[in-house]
Structure 1
Amino acid sequence: MSRYINSDITRYTPSCFCFILDQSSSMAEPYGERDGQLPVTKAEAVAMALNNLLRNLILSCSKSDGVRDYFEIAVLGYGAEVGPVWQGALRGQELVPISQVADNVLRLDEHQISLGNGTTETIRTPVWITPQAHGSTTMCAALQYAHDIISLWSGRNPSSHPPVIVHITDGEATDGDPAPHLEALTSLGTGNGRATLFNVHLSSRRTASPLSFPDQSAELPDPYARLLFDKASYLTPYMRTVAWENGLPLTEAARAFVLNADPSLLVLALEIGTRPGRLW
């Protein structure tokens, strides 16, 4: 079980979040309800959750002198191709400081919210990531790509808080065995500890029962689920504290793994994996 040295996140010792998104054709399948409206697709739900997370990270890094670069962000996708999924001014960039994410919103979407008494208000939400669902599940290539990026980042930031890698998928790899690639990601880190790898499996069936952050594999239904569990990291003590605050008392053996995640569990997994601690 991995242990971490306490390390604060500063502008001089930033941390890193790497999101690896399954963007294969199966991500176009329906995924949950949204406020009683028509179902969204899995790709749409992932994009909405990640855009909201990026907005919250920017808010947490916003100080009187602007957005401080406490984090560098990579968002990679795999499907029709493998690589960064940023669009607009950030297109093609691998690791982006959070201040540059804040300065390069792709667009603002407008939504109407009800204020009661028949009145509504228009709110604007920033968009960086758009839904994509094409091609096959080239997971191994994407995991290797992420490994190369995080390895370089770790070499440049040996005194920083360890990186967090969040892998979101709804299916099995079509380009080989992902086990050695997942294991290689968890071997990365800094002088303050190893990287934390989250494996977030999205449900392909409305009736599938979600399983959140288990501490043993006995309940898992198949070898693929056990693989994602076995290669996921143990949750850090701070992450377990965040889980506790969200109503999930977990043991020290809890893994950074969820199976058959519905939209609410997807959001919770992102919250547990990326909520900042102390920022200096």
Structure 2
Amino acid sequence: MYSAEINRTRPALLLFAIDQSFSMSEPWSETGQSKAEALAAAVNNMLGNAVLRCSHGGEKTYNYFEVGVFGYGQDVGPVLYGSSRENPILPVGFVADNPLRVDTVTRRVPDGAGGVISAQEHMPVWIDPLANGGTPMVAAFTAIESVVSRWCADHPTSFPPIVINVTDGASTDGTPDEVGERIRKSSTDDGPTLVFNLHLSGLPNQAVQFPNSAAALTDPNAVMLFELSSELPPSMLDAAAGMKYPVRVGSRGFLYNADATSVIDFLDIGTRSVTPTGLAELPDSERKALGDGKSLPRGGEDA
């Protein structure tokens, strides 16, 4: 399982469910931003990195995977720019060519002589922060369930879908365990759908990272999210171990009280698993651009 070759005729699916409730307007730890702002930045960064990985360091972006982003707060539905309720997932080549906008940001970068300088860089944006309403997690998972089921039926030989839910609180419309279990039971020939959960915290609490048991979890919401999460397949265990996370056999795709650094790592682990090229296979120039957040190659190519 979880070994299907990913290519343009057998793409993978990466789906996000992102909490856009009112509580996401609260400050997020040391970032200096609200949770909504920091999460939007992390997802935009992940999408930019994914575009680079699917470009082979060149000008064309190959459709190795499809992506969808569902927001849930006052409303529930697709929020990735260019998507819609009728067309909630998009090929990565389309994403590369169609950002919402390209912002110019100022970063402090090494000057090559031991110092730092300010440099302006172009950063594509596909989603904006939003924080309003409750936390209808059941509705979000229900909307995603039909997308996953249909995609699995249409792509029976592909790597199974990966669903990543990011929230800062408890569901306000019931417990999503039943719909979550149905999503995890949907599958391709290569294995069941993977469901991962990431809990954000504005408090300096110790994070729970990739546990293999709920024994140490005292918060009922944490237990619920843990039980909703899939075990990491071997490739993801290796990726997490390579980032020095304390993973072991049975570790689940679950982080609780996560800080900004671990959120970025978590999204990166999932993205690496659904793209056939990693950083080590990119030319040095493109690897540096990826690490520095430089502008992205353009020109998607259809599968």
> TM-score over 0.5 for the alignment?
yes
Q: Where do 1:153-172 residues align within 5 Å?
A: 153-172=151-170
For 1:123, the equivalent position in structure 2 comes to: 121
Unaligned runs of 5+ in 2: 278-303
SS at match of 2:151: helix
Q: Where do 1:17-32 residues align within 5 Å?
A: 17-32=14-29
Instruction: Identify which of 88, 103, 106 aligns with 1:94.
Output: 88
Q: How far did 1:91 drift?
A: 5.0
Alignment-mate amino acid for residue 38 of structure 2: A
Q: Is the 8 A contact 1:110 1:124 kept in 2?
A: yes
With over 3 angstroms needed to count, the CA separation of the structure-2 counterparts of 1:65 and 1:55, relative to structure 1, is closer
For 1:52, the equivalent position in structure 2 comes to: 45
Unaligned runs of 5+ in 1: none
Matched, 1:69 2:63: yes
**2:60, 2:77 → 1: CA distance?**
29
Q: Is the 8 A contact 2:164 2:196 kept in 1?
A: yes
Q: How far did 1:269 drift?
A: 1.1
Q: How far did 1:249 drift?
A: 4.2
Matched, 1:43 2:36: yes
With over 3 angstroms needed to count, the CA separation of the structure-2 counterparts of 1:5 and 1:243, relative to structure 1, is closer
Matched, 1:269 2:262: no
Q: Is the 8 A contact 2:6 2:12 kept in 1?
A: yes
Alignment-mate amino acid for residue 157 of structure 1: H
Deviations 1:202-235 (A, max 9, x none): 11x4222111000111111222211111120000
Q: Where do 1:1-280 residues align within 5 Å?
A: 4-34=1-31, 39-63=32-56, 64=58, 66-87=60-81, 89-90=82-83, 92=85, 93-115=87-109, 116=111, 119-203=117-201, 205-276=202-273, 279=276
Instruction: Among all aligned residue pairs of Structure 1 and Structure 2, give the percentage whose two residues are the same amino acid.
Output: 37
SS at match of 1:62: coil
With over 3 angstroms needed to count, the CA separation of the structure-2 counterparts of 1:277 and 1:135, relative to structure 1, is closer
**1:110, 1:81 → 2: CA distance?**
30
**2:23, 2:196 → 1: CA distance?**
21
Alignment-mate amino acid for residue 61 of structure 1: C
TM normalised by structure 2 equals 0.85
With over 3 angstroms needed to count, the CA separation of the structure-2 counterparts of 1:162 and 1:32, relative to structure 1, is same
Q: Is the 8 A contact 1:22 1:168 kept in 2?
A: yes
Alignment-mate amino acid for residue 255 of structure 2: V
With over 3 angstroms needed to count, the CA separation of the structure-2 counterparts of 1:65 and 1:51, relative to structure 1, is closer
Deviations 1:102-156 (A, max 9, x none): 0101111111223456742211111001101001111101100000111111110
SS at match of 2:252: coil
Q: Is the 8 A contact 1:27 1:42 kept in 2?
A: yes
With over 3 angstroms needed to count, the CA separation of the structure-2 counterparts of 1:171 and 1:158, relative to structure 1, is same
Count matched residues.
271
With over 3 angstroms needed to count, the CA separation of the structure-2 counterparts of 1:17 and 1:118, relative to structure 1, is closer
**1:258, 1:105 → 2: CA distance?**
29
Runs of 4+ in 1 over 2 A off after TM superposition: 89-93, 113-120, 276-280
TM normalised by structure 1 equals 0.92
Which is bigger in relative contact order (C-alpha 8 A, separation at least 6)? 2
Q: Is the 8 A contact 1:8 1:278 kept in 2?
A: no
